Amino acid sequence: MDYAGLFDLRGREVVVVGAGSGIGRESALALAAHGAHVVLADRDEAAAEATAKLAGDNARVYPLDVLDSAAVEAAAEDLDSASALVFTPATNVRKSMASYTDEEFDRVVSLNLRASFHLIRHFAGRLARRGGGSIVAFSSIRASTVEPGQSVYAATKAGLEQLVKTAAAEFGGRGVRVNAIRPGVVETPLTAQMAMDESWFRAYADKTALGRWAQPEEIAGAVVFLVSDAASYVTGSMLTVDGGWTAQDGRYQPPLPREESS
């Protein structure tokens, strides 16, 4: 076994949807650093171009609006040489269930769940026909633990995880691995509103075992792992990268006796 080469992605093409900013950008940069040729798919072509400049020669831009299901299907066909797909796009409307509008519900579900369904089904089918590959979706700790104002977002992430498990079961026999990453609180454009509120920012930081928010680049290693041969027997899994948020209760720090040295 060539253990040193498990994370070597040279000669592989990886499509990163949402590569224009945040976790998507850092994932693309990390994959390129490990030798992958990265296709930077994003609705914001200028943002994707900015990522391409950072990634260097191992990247190219592919304009894509994931809300257009026909465009997603066409992308899967156009990018038939890809061996992996990573996708990050999501949105959230933080409101009580009682005040949610139908338009807001549809907007969150359309991007977080419907678009994810089309990305998985079309790219998994292409990967299966080519003999296998890897798909990495982005879920959230909100798939299992919620707070007021997160109803629809949390529901879409829970639904996404069921899509991931089903796709892993349906396409696994043809060599396609499908997994999801569950980030905790990460400083990205999606969380900018919370980060600007000092009390909110501090409360979330204190909820983690590490006492801080994550930076987008701290999630990228999990992406490289799931795309690479190091994860060759990992499928249908949810990899939690949350700084210990879901590992502890977090409401109270009880007094503990000091350790006695021998």
* Predicted confidence pLDDT, tens digits, the chain (262 residues): 899 899 999 999 999 999 999 999 999 999 999 999 999 999 999 999 999 999 999 999 999 999 999 999 999 999 999 999 999 999 999 999 999 999 999 999 999 999 999 999 999 999 999 999 999 999 999 999 999 999 999 999 999 999 999 999 999 999 999 999 999 999 987 787 778 888 889 999 999 999 999 999 999 999 999 999 999 999 999 999 999 999 987 666 777 777 655 4
* Helix (H/G/I), strand (E/B), else coil: 59: strand
Domains and CATH numbers, the chain: 10-188+215-244 (3.40.50.720)
CA dihedral 237, 214, 229, 28 (to 10 degrees): 120
Question: What b/e string do you get for 33-42 counting C-beta neighbours within 10 Å, with b at 16 or more?
Answer: ebebbbbbbb
Rounded distance between C-alpha atoms, residue 180 and residue 249, angstroms: 24
Question: Is 236 exposed, middle or buried, given 0-12, 13-18 or 19+ CB atoms closer than 10 A?
Answer: middle
Please tell me which residue in 3, 62, 100, 153 is annotated as part of the active site: 153
Rounded distance between C-alpha atoms, residue 234 and residue 213, angstroms: 27
Res 251: pLDDT: 66
The amino acid occupying position 150 is: Q
Rounded distance between C-alpha atoms, residue 92 and residue 28, angstroms: 23
Q: How many residues appear in the chain?
A: 262
CA distances from residue 166 to 89, 134, 156, 173, 235 in whole angstroms, order as listed: 20, 14, 15, 12, 10
Helical H segments across the chain, by residue range: 22-33, 45-55, 69-78, 102-109, 115-129, 151-171, 192-195, 198-207, 217-227
160, 137 in Cβ contact below 8 A?
yes
Active site annotation includes 100 = no
